[in-house]
Amino acid sequence: MAAKRKNSRKDSSNSLYDIIIYVSLILIVFSLFFIGFSMTGKVVDTDSAIVNVTISGTTAINFTTNFLNLGAGTVNVGSAAATIDSDGNVVGGTGWGNTGNLTLENIGNTNVSLDISFGKSAAEYIGGTSPEYHFKFNNKEAGSCTPADGKSLDSWIATTKTNTTICSSFSFEDNKDEINIGIKLVIPSDSIAGTRSDVVTATATTV
Amino acid sequence: MVKKNVAIALAIIALVLVSVAIYTYISSEHKAPVQEPILTDNQKGQVGVTIQPPEVEDRGDGS
């Protein structure tokens, strides 16, 4: 009786080991299959080749016209100020009247957002009582600039020494990758006389 | 006895391989996205203007 019980226990242990062996083998096979798939991405080997090329994004802009000369002039006697702009308009002054723009081109291969800042405030640039210093931007090539929120093309904006985002997207594509930047000044009669200049900084950031 | 040892050895191997498979799966699912560096470029332009002093009319009488 005891021998029979012993034999029965032995059989049951044997079948347990069998189950462990079979389950282990199944797990090993599936694990190896999964690991191999994860590492190679393929289970079935196919004959294929890959042509791979990486084109790096380049962020680059360029002032193709980097100097805007508004010319020389004087505030008319009796006038509190002269208003001049880069479209050639002159009110309350004599001389000036130059036309032109700063022209900025996206010469990279990625769309960018565009910020503009100025080196001087109106007071530092022109001086006098209540001077004003504005800029505007427009598309030299249609579709170049998507104006940032709150900004629009051809609207005068007061300059700031900190960055002002003007284009949420400045395209790099040929035939739509150039904008013009114009300037307007209100020059008081008591402004600083002489030749004045200021630096405009354009900053492009990949979007 | 041999069968027992074989079963234990296979069970250990299976356990290790299952652990590796799980680790491989988790690490591939939670791979950190590659962040492209933000690239910037600065360029400078210049705005110039000449402001001349107002011309004062000379009336010839010293005023």
Residues within 8 A of B (CB atoms), A 30-89 only: 30-32, 34-35, 38-39, 57-63, 65-77, 84
State the Cα–Cα distance between residues A27 and B29, nearest whole angstrom. Answer: 21
Q: What pLDDT, in 10s, does the model give residues A70-84?
A: 999 999 999 999 999
CB-count burial class (<10 Å; 0-12, 13-18, 19+) for B63: exposed
Residue of B nearest to A192 (CA): B51
Stretch (H or E) spanning A37: helix A2-40
Check CB contact of A186 with chain B, cutoff 8 Å: no
A-chain residues near B43 (CB < 8 A): 61-63, 66, 104, 201-202, 204
Task: Name the stretches of chain A with pLDDT < 70.
Answer: 1-10, 37-46
State the Cα–Cα distance between residues A15 and A7, nearest whole angstrom. Answer: 12
Task: Name the stretches of chain B with pLDDT < 50.
Answer: 63
Residue of B13, B22, B41 to mutate, testing the A interface (most A Cβ within 10 Å of its Cβ): B41
Check CB contact of A29 with chain B, cutoff 8 Å: no
Q: What pLDDT, in 10s, does the model give residues A120-163?
A: 999 999 999 999 999 999 999 999 999 999 999 999 999 999 99
Taking an 8 Å cut-off on Cβ atoms, the answer to whether B48 and A25 are in contact is no
Among candidates B47, B19, B40, which has minimal Cα distance to A134?
B47
Taking an 8 Å cut-off on Cβ atoms, the answer to whether A206 and B40 are in contact is yes
Number of residue pairs across A and B with CB atoms under 8 Å?
A: 172
The position carrying tokens 């020494």 is A161
ipTM over 0.85: no
Q: Considering the entire predicted model, what is its pTM?
A: 0.68
State the Cα–Cα distance between residues A203 and A117, nearest whole angstrom. Answer: 8
Taking an 8 Å cut-off on Cβ atoms, the answer to whether A108 and B41 are in contact is yes
Among candidates A138, A139, A102, which has minimal Cα distance to A118?
A102
The greatest distance separating any two alpha carbons of chain A, rounded to the nearest whole angstrom, comes to 133
Q: What is the pLDDT of residue A22?
A: 85
Q: What is the pLDDT of residue A6?
A: 61
Taking an 8 Å cut-off on Cβ atoms, the answer to whether A20 and B50 are in contact is no
